Amino acid sequence: MFEQLTHLLDVMNNPNVSIGIVPRDAGYRAPAPGFVIHDNSQASTELVAGEIIIDDREGVALHVKTFEILTDQAVFDDRAEHLVTKALSPFHL
């Protein structure tokens, strides 16, 4: 976990990268399994048993809406960096 969090801090400084973090206290507004949206024409959802490819318009739109909800809940820039730094605190840096 330490390596993943320090990598996030390093990557956050790249001008072409935007990392948003949904805080624990943001409340539950959308299910958030791991998923990827491919050019608004296809989405893939990660499950324990494997991956599902979604290519119907309604399914992709649902993933886009979920992404929008999560983006609205997320914090970025200094606030996101603060959360990552806070998550690193148990490692006694």
The per-residue pLDDT for 10 is 94
Range of the domain at 38: 31-73
Judgement on whether residues 38 and 55 belong to the same structural domain of the protein: yes
Q: Looking at the predicted structure, is the pLDDT value of residue 79 above 90?
A: yes
Judgement on whether residues 39 and 61 belong to the same structural domain of the protein: yes
pTM, full prediction? 0.78
Total domain count for the chain? 2
- Look at residues 35, 25, 40 and name the one whose alpha carbon lies nearest to residue 74: 25
Judgement on whether residues 13 and 36 belong to the same structural domain of the protein: no
**pLDDT, tens digit, for every residue of 11-64?**
998 999 999 999 988 887 766 788 999 988 999 999 889 999 999 999 999 999
Judgement on whether residues 65 and 79 belong to the same structural domain of the protein: no
Instruction: Tell me the pLDDT band of 92, cut-offs 50, 70 and 90.
Output: confident
Judgement on whether residues 38 and 9 belong to the same structural domain of the protein: no
Judgement on whether residues 54 and 82 belong to the same structural domain of the protein: no
